[in-house]
Structures are given as structure tokens and as C-alpha cells.
Amino acid sequence: MNIPYVENDVSETVEMIVDTEEILSTLRDNGQIENPTYDYASDCYDMCNIMTFIIGNKLNKLCEPETLLVKEGVFGMIGNHTWLEIEGVIIDGTLKQFIPKANKMSIIDSSFDQYFAVKSYTFENWVNESSNFL
């Protein structure tokens, strides 16, 4: 599968402020990942809400509140999924659970036809209206 990764101002900002390996390490250390394997693809399995919350919390401080979106839906008709989207770019810290060869922090053109959103929220509304990230 050819993933249309993006390199632009958004991707540079995300890569500067978000370290997915550090996030997963903290989650492992705090016992939020049961039986950690220390393999990113395995340990990020079913962690999309938590990763979306942590990444979104870091990015929300840098952008206009209405521009950072959380999408809930499915990836590739494989399973339920949650991801961030801003300025036509998908930010996905857990794509490796579906595609083991994906980047740990996948920053992808939003036209990628494997993401199927069912619901969309601003990040702040998602945090206020959803208990999924807890």
C-alpha cells in the first residue's frame, strides 16, 4: 500500500513537538499498555484514542481551536480508528497497528482513501464530549 506522506509546515511542526516513542514509553511505564512487547506496532494497538488525545493536546496549543479536528471512523475497513486532521493533513500516531511498515508518526494527505470518518469534532469538543480517551 502506497501511503501518501506529507512534508510541509504541518509535518515539520508535528515532528518537532511530538515524539511517539516517548509517548508509548510513558504509557508502558505507567501500566497503560498491558503486557508491552516493546514493538511499536503491537504496543500501539487499540491506543488511537489515547494517542489522539496526547498528540492533539500538544498541537491544540499551537493552532486555532476550530482547525484541529478529531475524526472517528474506520481505517481500510479493518477496524475502528481515531485520528487528527488539520489543514488537509491526517496526523496518525497509531497507523502501524494496521500497516506495520507505516511511520510511527504518520502524517498523510487527507485524500488518502483508506480513512473513512463517521464523526468529526473539533479537538476541544471531542475532549469535552467524549470519554473515549480516558
Q: How many domains does the chain have?
A: 1
Cα 53 to Cα 76: distance, rounded to the nearest angstrom: 22
Q: What separation, in Å, do the N-terminal and C-terminal C-alpha atoms of the chain show?
A: 32
82 occurs within a structural domain:
yes
In a domain, 29, yes or no: yes
- Spatial CB neighbours of 116, under 8 Å, sequence gap ≥ 6: 73, 74, 75, 77
The average confidence (pLDDT) of the chain is 87
- Inter-helix orientation angle 48-60/9-17, to 10°: 110
Range of the domain at 105: 9-129
pLDDT in tens, 104-121: 899 999 999 999 999 999
Query: Is residue 3 domain-resident?
Result: no
Residue 95 in domain:
yes
All three cell numbers of 59, joined, read 498541537
Q: Residues 49-74: pLDDT tens digits?
A: 888 988 999 899 888 889 999 999 99
The DSSP secondary-structure symbol of 95 reads: G
Q: Is residue 1 part of a domain?
A: no
The 10s digit of each residue's pLDDT in 11-49 is 888 888 888 888 888 888 888 887 778 777 777 777 888
